[in-house]
Amino acid sequence: MITRVLALLAATVLAMMSPIMAAVAHAAAPGDQGAQSVSQSDQDVLTTVMQSGMWEIAAGGMARNQASAAAVRTVAATLVTDDTALNQQAAQAAEQLGVQLPGQPDNDQQGWLAQLHDEAGATFDHDYVNLVRQASGKVFTAVAAARAGTKNDLIKQFAQGAVNTVMKHMTVLEGTKLVDSSALSDPALPQTTDQNPAGSQAAQGAGATPTTAPTVQQSTTTTTVVDDRPSPAVVLVGVLLIGALAWGTVMIIRRVVNSA
């Protein structure tokens, strides 16, 4: 009789403890800690910064030998240093978030590099400064939007640094006094020394100046991770309550058995 009662008690205690132990296992499960959503716009801003840095680094390398103004060469060296550091940060963030980054500039940026490759002197100075300045305006818009709208702490930190870097780049480029301010009113149309009138088809050939700057497709779709795990304090209180209940039940049964 006593054995049967104790077995029934043990089964009852185990049934009561199962939800608590399951909650403990769920709370300690690896891979769920600190999970954050990564939206398409978060991925896009990493891609935009990486590709912008790659083409600016390549253009800056050309400036060392093809630019005629010392100020342009100095600005180009600054941009190469900053872009190298920023691209390393983008690569680290992408690795942590599982984002695949491109390995080369986009088609527009490759077109600009092809154009600058064939230029030198004052023509190179003008086109380099204006292409980079206007493209930087588009990148600035993208990183500022990411900083304001992202729900991911890592992207927020990265975008904040990118905002500061790109703002610095626009400032030093404007300091050369070569920026065509009238062209800044239409940032989608970089102005260079051989920019043709609207509708001209001559600029559409190989090596012609692209008429679009890098863009970032914004997406409102996010994958939200909801953490429904109980807090450690709640789990501990539950375990203590169940333990106290089990101990009290055992003591009552012992008294009943002894009195019998």
Stretch 160-164: mean pLDDT: 97
**The pTM of the whole model exceeds 0.85:** no
Q: Which pLDDT does position 182 carry in this prediction?
A: 84
- Which pLDDT band, with edges at 50, 70 and 90, does 229 fall under? low
> What is the residue type of 248?
G
What does the pLDDT look like over 41-61, one tens digit per residue? 999 999 999 999 999 999 999
Burial 27-65 (b: 16+ CB within 10 A, else e): beeeeeeeeeebbebbbbbbbbbbbbbbbbbbbbebbee
Stretch 97-111: mean pLDDT: 96
Fold of domain 41-195: Ferritin (1.20.1260)
Determine how many CB atoms are found less than 10 A away from the CB of residue 74. 15
In the chain, what's the furthest Cα-to-Cα distance? 109
Q: Which pLDDT does position 148 carry in this prediction?
A: 96
What does the pLDDT look like over 176-222, one tens digit per residue? 999 998 878 654 445 555 544 333 333 333 333 343 333 333 333 33
Residue 91 has pLDDT above 80, yes or no: yes
Q: Which pLDDT does position 184 carry in this prediction?
A: 80
Stretch 85-90: mean pLDDT: 98
Work out the mean pLDDT of the chain and round it to a whole number. Answer: 76
Residue 229, phi then psi, degrees to nearest 5: -70, 140
